[in-house]
Amino acid sequence: MLRSRRSSRGPALLVSVALLAAGCGSTATTTDSAVPAEAAGYPRTVTDCGYRVEVGAPPRRAVSLNQGTTEILLSLGLADRMAGTATWTDPVMKGLEKANAGVPRLADDMPSFEKVLDAEPDFVAASFASTLGPGGVATREQFDELGVPAYLSPSDCAGKDNGGDGDGVRSKALTMDTVYGEVRDLARIFDVEQRGEELVADLKARVEKATSGVDASGVTLMYWFANSTSPYLAGCCGAPGVMTRAVGARNVMDDTREEWPQIGWETVADRDPDVLVIGDLTRRSQSAETAAKKIEFLESDPVTRNMTAVRKKRYVLLSGQAMNPTIRTVEGVEKVAAALRAYGLTK
């Protein structure tokens, strides 16, 4: 069932009032003049993860709670309409450094609800239900009570169940069309549809160029995101599945629909992938975050050091964002395809 999420006029003012009432100490003032009383083509509504998200005008003070949504907004040229970002795993995507430098970073990791409200947002976007939902920054309902519409990336809900303790289970394989849909949703919300179409066209062209003539059928891959004690490895159907299908290879963990199950190294060694795709993260929340630490572990551990990919040093290094369902997944397709060519594993 669709659940409606409506924005009121002047949501930033409502946030300021709520903060003062709660004693949060915000001294910033906001007037309704910050958001036009009427805007052509508004209110606008997008259907998102079972919700109808309605905005009464193009957002002027958006807060992005995850790097994935941040990089879409920056790529759409919306830095001047962003009041804050949070939850980073990697440096910002190349080409967006200058735009990103002008947007306040509320936190490197998950911010508190109060910190987000201090930014006086009129729109909130997030990549994961673990961020925008129970146990995260706040729920949609909490933002809605303050008149702030909240958007969740459809890649984390379409064909996916986040009800368990892990990173979710997919009943349907993710495709880039879902990511392109997110770009179009956000472009519509901000009244920059043409920019959205241009971004989607560029992403599609990059995938086509990267995979042209690539046939890696018969090649096996494994994707390791983080943690050396009990590694998070990609199941069949998330962003790594997009990369695997794009080059015609096979993921050795394609028998699980869990997004990032934790698998024992003995199982990995038994499946012995031809190539290891490794997350090169800059955050510091798990063991073996960087690619260097992962490779050090692989080449020294008695269970893993005799694996084919390790002996032949067939590694592909990807950012965390490229391994998540974001516009950076295209970067992952490019790097995996290029590596397979370099290793002589394509037909």
* DSSP string over 32-66: GGGS-S--TT-SEEEEETTEEEEESS--SSEEESS
pLDDT of residue 271 exceeding 50 = yes
Side chain identity, residue 132: L
More confident residue, 184 or 282: 184
Q: Which of 50-64, 233-247, 257-271, 284-298 shows the lowest per-residue confidence on average (mean pLDDT)?
A: 284-298
pLDDT of residue 345 exceeding 90 = yes
> Which residue, 86, 87, 75, 297, is CA-closest to 186?
75
pLDDT band for position 40 (cuts 50, 70, 90): confident
Side chain identity, residue 257: R
- Answer positive or negative: Cα dihedral of 136, 60, 119, 96: positive
The DSSP bridge pattern shows strands 82-86 and 105-107 to be parallel
Q: How far is CA 160 from CA 66, 106, 188, in A?
A: 19, 29, 24
Average pLDDT, the chain: 90
pLDDT band for position 245 (cuts 50, 70, 90): very high
pLDDT of residue 163 exceeding 90 = no
Cα three-residue angle 157-130-201, rounded to 5 degrees: 50
Q: Do residues 310 and 298 make contact, with C-beta atoms less than 8 angstroms apart?
A: yes
pLDDT band for position 32 (cuts 50, 70, 90): very low
pLDDT at res. 116: 98
- Span 318-327, mean pLDDT? 96
> Which residue, 182, 214, 210, 212, is CA-closest to 196?
182
- Answer positive or negative: Cα dihedral of 69, 73, 74, 80: negative
Exposure letters 168-194 (e unless 16+ CB within 10 A, then b): bbbeeebbbebbbbbbbbbbbbbbbee
pLDDT of residue 283 exceeding 90 = no
Please state the separation of Cα 157 from the chain's center in Å.
Answer: 12
Quick: pLDDT tens for 88-98: 989 999 999 99
Q: Do residues 69 and 153 make contact, with C-beta atoms less than 8 angstroms apart?
A: yes
pLDDT band for position 287 (cuts 50, 70, 90): confident
Tokens standing for 275?
């190539």
Instruction: For residue 46, list its beta bridge partners.
Output: 53
Tokens standing for 267?
């199982």
Using CA atoms of 9, 12, 18, 24 in order, give the dihedral in degrees to the nearest 10.
Answer: 180
Single pTM value for the model: 0.88
Quick: pLDDT tens for 170-188: 999 999 999 999 999 999 9
Quick: pLDDT tens for 106-130: 999 999 999 999 999 999 999 999 9
pLDDT of residue 18 exceeding 70 = no
Quick: pLDDT tens for 195-215: 999 999 999 999 999 999 999
pLDDT at res. 9: 35
Going from the N-terminus, what domains does the chain have, and what CATH number goes with each?
3-152 (3.40.50.1980), 214-342 (3.40.50.1980)
The SS3 of residue 244 is: helix
pLDDT at res. 38: 57
- Span 12-41, mean pLDDT? 44
pLDDT of residue 189 exceeding 50 = yes
Exposure letters 83-103 (e unless 16+ CB within 10 A, then b): bbbbbbbbebbeebeebbeeb
Q: How far is CA 203 from CA 124, 190, 212, 318, 328, in A?
A: 24, 20, 14, 17, 9
pLDDT of residue 14 exceeding 80 = no
pLDDT of residue 16 exceeding 70 = no
